[in-house]
Amino acid sequence: MERSGRTGTGPETETETEREEERAPEPEREERGESAEGAEEERGVLPEPRPGRRLWLRRVRRTALGLVLALVLPVLAAQTALRINYLGDPADGTYTRGKDAVWLGHAWVDGRKKDADVTALAARLKATGMRDLYVHAGPLEHDGTLPKSAYANARWFIAAVHREAPGIRVQAWLGDVLASEGSRGMRLERAATRAAVVQSTREILATGFDGVHFDLEPLHSGDRNYLTLLDALHRVTAAQDAPLSVAAHQIDPLPGLHAARGAVTGHPKWWSQWFFGQVARRVDQIALMSYDTMQPLESTYGGYVAQQTSLALEVTPETTDLLMGLPFYHEKGFGHWEHAETVAAAVRGVRLGLSRTDADRANFGVAAYVDFAAKEEDWTAYREGWVR
């Protein structure tokens, strides 16, 4: 997205005529000892502003207009760029590679779901591109530990999925709130906490999960403690031939935008493209959470997803699975407008970004968030737009 704008014009200079008018009184009124303003006030008529006051008002109006333009023009330019980015036709063959995923809620491992639910889930996934299930098995404690009670029914679920849907992998979705923007949460700068996360990973893989998927938020761009943690986790998962997967923040739509937003709000939101690439190099699978984008229209949202897809493809190794998030949920708010962030727009944006950047990328897919909030229309849009 490109930003452009301009400030208001500079102050004007009073003309000689205006200065003469300001100095010269009205002769007749002076002789009677009355002012022109006083007479008009008696008649209920407001006096005209003096030339100096008119000039001041013009300056205020032009300054205000300049400020509005400086704020509005970049936004309009950005929205226009995104809508243009949504134009065109995706390349032939830019459909599922059979490496898609879906996030599943905690009910699947805490005893609420039954055999019939797994059978229905398997039927839902049949003839789609789904390969991975990220089932919520946490959250982690702030010290990095994970009580076994959090995933008490996991062995049953894993076995049931392997029986009903052979070839589908079940990954443990683990997450926590980081203390990066507040006083409470997990602190990755503590070596003991990172070590505990690694140990929790060993334990949950021993339960029978096919892999582990981490979602730690809010994670600021450039966090080297996170990279250190990923290095340690990958040694554990690789030794067990299990995939290490992570959920990732969006990439700066403009270079350095995360730093600018962070300085103003304390919440950077985006990662730099460089940091995204560093994370992608340390994992087997990275899922970009391409929703909650603040976009007001389907066209701008789709254009944004197309841009994010291209940015991610540019820095993700071909050996790492790159998945783009699909919004299988429905909310109304500043961060997510359900009328704009649709699955159909996301899928089209993904295909456009893939077409323009690396149409033949094999290790690529989409990830649907989240099963318990999804509607039938979301699954239909996914199948018709991406699976075919």
**Residue 71: its pLDDT value, please?**
54
At 161, the amino acid letter reads V
Residue 111 CA to residue 209 CA, distance in Å, equals 17
Residues 266, 142, 291: CA angle, nearest 5 degrees: 50
Instruction: Mention every residue, 6+ apart, whose C-beta is less than 8 A from residue 227.
Output: 278, 279, 282
What CATH fold (topology level) applies to the domain 100-387?
TIM Barrel (3.20.20)
Instruction: For residue 285, count other CB atoms closer than 10 A to its CB.
Output: 25
Instruction: Say what the pLDDT of residue 201 is.
Output: 98
pLDDT recorded at residue 76: 74
Domain boundaries, the chain: 16-85, 100-387
CA distance readout (Å), 36 to 20, 40, 57: 17, 6, 21
Q: How far is CA 69 from the centre of its chain?
A: 26
Is the distance from CB of 366 to CB of 325 less than 8 angstroms?
yes
Distance CA 388, CA 381 (A): 10
d(Cα 150, Cα 193) in Å, to the nearest integer? 18
**DSSP string of 144-159, one letter each residue:** S---GGGGTTHHHHHH
Q: Which of 225, 279, 227 is nearest to 250 (CA)?
A: 279
Q: At what angle do helices 298-315 and 51-85 cross, to 10 degrees?
A: 60
Give me the residues paired with residue 170 across strands.
133
Each residue's pLDDT tens digit in the chain (388 positions)?
433 333 333 334 444 444 444 444 444 444 444 444 454 445 555 555 566 777 776 677 667 656 555 555 577 788 899 999 999 999 999 999 999 999 999 999 999 999 999 999 999 999 999 999 999 999 999 999 999 999 999 999 999 999 999 999 999 999 999 999 999 999 999 999 999 999 999 999 999 999 999 999 999 999 999 999 999 999 999 999 999 999 999 999 998 888 888 888 889 999 999 999 999 999 999 999 999 999 999 999 999 999 999 999 999 999 999 999 999 999 888 899 999 999 999 999 999 999 999 999 999 999 999 999 999 999 999 999 999 8
pLDDT for res 72: 57
d(CA 333, CA 381): 22
pTM (2 d.p.): 0.82
pLDDT at position 70 is 58
- Rounded distance between C-alpha atoms, residue 255 and residue 264, angstroms: 16
